[in-house]
Amino acid sequence: MKQVMLGNEAIARGAYEAGCLVAAAYPGTPSTEILQNTAKYKEISSEWSVNEKVAAEVAIGASMAGARAMAAMKHFGLNVASDAVFPAVYEGVTGALVIICADDPGMNSSGTEPDSRNFGPHMKMPIIEPADSQECKDYTKLAFELSERFDTPFMVRTTTRVNHGSGIVELGERKEAGVKHYEKNIMKNTNIPAMARNKHKNVEARINEIREYSNVCDLNRIEFNTKELGIVCNGISYQYAKEVFGDSASYLKIGFSYPMPDKKIREFAGMVDKIYVIEELDPYMEEHLKMLGIDCLGKEVLPLWLEYSANIIRRGFGLPVTEAAYAVEAEAPVRPASFCAGCPHRGIYHEVSKYAGKIVATGDIGCYALNIQPPFSVTHTMIDMGGSITAGIGFEKAERVARRDYKVFSFIGDSTFFHSGITGLINAVYNKAATSIFILDNSTTGMTGHQDNPCTGMTLMKEVTTVVDIRSLVVGCGVKEENIRTVDPYDLKATEAVVKEAYESDELFVVIVRQPCALLKSVISARKDQHCVVDPDKCRNCRLCITKTACPALQLAGGKVEISREDCNGCTICSQICPFDAIEKVGE
C-alpha cells in the first residue's frame, strides 16, 4: 500500500511500524506534525510534554523500562533537551530511544538557524538524515533497530523541506517489539562520576564500531555516473544537487552523518577527479573531508546561511540560472504581519503601548511577538522560551543602578509559561524582583497551530485531564495574592486600569490576561453571529480604528471604513477605541 505523506507523517509512520510504544514532544515548527500523527496510532502513547527536556526524559524513562520510545523537537528544543540526552548516551538503552531533531535553514519559523549535526560529535550520538518522505519512514524505523543493536540513542536529523515536503511512501506492517525485561542496574542507568568514567571509554569504542557500520550500510551510498565530478551531499541538498547536475556528476549521498564513513569517503574520492560538497548551514561534511586530506569545494562558493535552492547552487558553481516556467506581471501587495482579527493580544498591547518611553518590555516566543510591529511597538527584547521573565529580572537589576526610571514589563504566553517560565517566576519571587509579569492565557499553544497544553484540560490523545490553573500556580510560586490580577483584554477600561496598577507597583506584580484565541473552533462557533458594524452617519473617517488596532477585519471601501463580516468576531476593541461611537456590535 502506498500513500502520499508529509515527511513528518512518514516519521510518525516509521515509529509506528517499528513498534514504538511511547512518543513525547513539545510543539515546534517544523517538527509539530510528528506527534500529531503518532497520536493517531492507538498503540503509541503520545503526549505533549511541557517542554523538550521533559519530553526527552519521558522517552528516556520509557526506554530504560524496556519500551521503544521517541522524542521529537525542533533545533531549539534539542538545546533544551540536551541536558537529558547527554547522560542518556553514556547510559545507553534498554528499549530503543530515537530523538528526532528538525532544523530550520532559512529561519522559516525560527530566530536562528544552527546546524544540529554538530550535536553528534558533541554528544557522541549517531545521526542519520533522510532526504524524502520514504526515507523519513524507513530511516526512522531503522533508527529504532540500530538503537537497540548498538545500545545508544539515535538522532534522526531533518530540515524544514524534508519535514514539510510530500512524497509517496510505501507502507509496511507494524512489528510489535513489546517491552523488554527490566532489572535494576545502577552501573548502566546512573551516571555518578565513579560509574561514568568507564562509560566514556565504552562510548568511544561504540562510536568506532558504529563508524564501521556507517561505511558499509546503504544509508551512505555511491551513485557513480562520471569520474569528472563527484558531489558529496545529504538530506534535501541531495535533491537540489540531483536537480542541478543530473547524470553529469557522481554522488556520495550521506544518510549516516555521524560518525562519518571515512572509508567510503576515501573510496569515492578515488573514483572522481574533483569533489563538490553541497550541504546547508555549516561545513560539517566539508571540514571532515578536508580533515581526511581530501581536496573539495563547498562553502567557498556556497552560503553558510539560509535555505538552499537549485538556483543558489547553480550560481555558486557558475552555472546558468534556470528561469521559472511562467511568470505573472502583477505583484502581491506587501502585507505586514499582524494579529488576527479578534486576537485578544490586541487589547493588552494597545493599552501597554500608551506607556511607550516609560517601560522596557521583555518579550517571549509566541504569536504575541507580533506586538513588535506598529501600531503597538511594545517589545524591546526577545531571547528564548521563558526568557522574558528572567531577562526582565536582569534588566531591572541594571535599572536599579542606572536609575533611568524605566519600569520593566515581561510578557509570556500560557504554553511558554508552562514550558520554561515557572522557574523564572520562582526566581523573581526568591530574588525580590519588582517587575510586572503579564501571562497571556489564550487557552492554547497558538503559534504552532492550536496544540493542547496544561491549561486546556485535554491531552494529545484527546483524553480529558486536570486543568492546571495559572493563578493557583502563581500563588504557589510565592507571588502575593494582592499583587495578582486577572483581566479580559477585550475590556479596554479594565485592562487600562490593570496596566496602570502594574506600572505603579513597586513589588513583583503578575497580570493574567485571559481570553481564548479567536481562531479556536469553539470560539468561532460561539461568536459566529457576532460582529461589529460601522454607522456611516457617525463615522468621521478619522481611521483611528485602523491605525490603533491594525485589525485585518477593518477595511477601506471607497475611502470609508468598513468591517469585514467574514473576519470580525465582535471583540469590540475597535468600537471602544472609536471616539465617535460609530462602531457597534451586533448579534448574540
User: Could you tell me if 123 and 94 are in contact, meaning their C-beta atoms sit under 8 angstroms apart?
Assistant: no
Residue 588 has pLDDT above 80, yes or no: no
Residue 356 has pLDDT above 90, yes or no: yes
In tens, the pLDDT along 199-223 reads 999 999 999 999 999 999 999 999 9
In tens, the pLDDT along 465-501 reads 999 999 999 999 999 999 999 999 999 999 999 999 9
Note the pLDDT of residue 330: 82
d(CA 308, CA 132): 16
What domains are defined for the chain? 2-216 (3.40.50.970), 220-316 (3.40.50.920), 345-523 (3.40.50.970), 527-586 (3.30.70.20)
Note the pLDDT of residue 335: 73
User: Could you tell me if 119 and 155 are in contact, meaning their C-beta atoms sit under 8 angstroms apart?
Assistant: yes
Residue 334 has pLDDT above 90, yes or no: no
What are phi and psi for residue 301, nearest 5 degrees? -120, -10
In tens, the pLDDT along 393-403 reads 999 999 999 99
User: Could you tell me if 407 and 438 are in contact, meaning their C-beta atoms sit under 8 angstroms apart?
Assistant: no
Banded pLDDT at 196 (limits 50, 70, 90): confident
Residue whose C-alpha cell is 506598529: 374
H-run or E-run covering 42: none
Note the pLDDT of residue 534: 96
Bridge partners, residue 167, by sequence? 5
Note the pLDDT of residue 194: 85
In tens, the pLDDT along 35-88 reads 999 999 999 999 999 999 999 999 999 999 999 999 999 999 999 999 999 999
User: Could you tell me if 288 and 310 are in contact, meaning their C-beta atoms sit under 8 angstroms apart?
Assistant: no
Look up residue 585 and give its DSSP letter: E
d(CA 139, CA 390): 39
Residue 336 has pLDDT above 80, yes or no: no
For residues 528-550, give the mean pLDDT.
94
Task: Kindly list the distances between the CA atom of residue 134 and the CA atoms of 155, 261, 325, 451, in Å, as whole numbers in the listed order.
Answer: 17, 23, 27, 26
H-run or E-run covering 519: none
User: Could you tell me if 25 and 72 are in contact, meaning their C-beta atoms sit under 8 angstroms apart?
Assistant: yes
What does pTM read for this prediction?
Answer: 0.93
Look up residue 10 and give its DSSP letter: H
Residue 99 has pLDDT above 90, yes or no: yes
Bridge partners, residue 25, by sequence? 48, 72
Note the pLDDT of residue 195: 83
In tens, the pLDDT along 271-311 reads 999 999 999 999 999 999 999 999 999 999 999 999 999 99
Largest distance between two CA atoms of the chain: 83
Task: Kindly list the distances between the CA atom of residue 471 and the CA atoms of 292, 417, 476, 510, 529, in Å, as whole numbers in the listed order.
Answer: 58, 12, 9, 9, 32
In tens, the pLDDT along 559-584 reads 899 999 999 999 999 999 999 999 99
In tens, the pLDDT along 129-167 reads 999 999 999 999 999 999 999 999 999 999 999 999 999
CA-based angle 358:359:364, to the nearest 5?
160
The mean predicted confidence, pLDDT, of the chain is 96
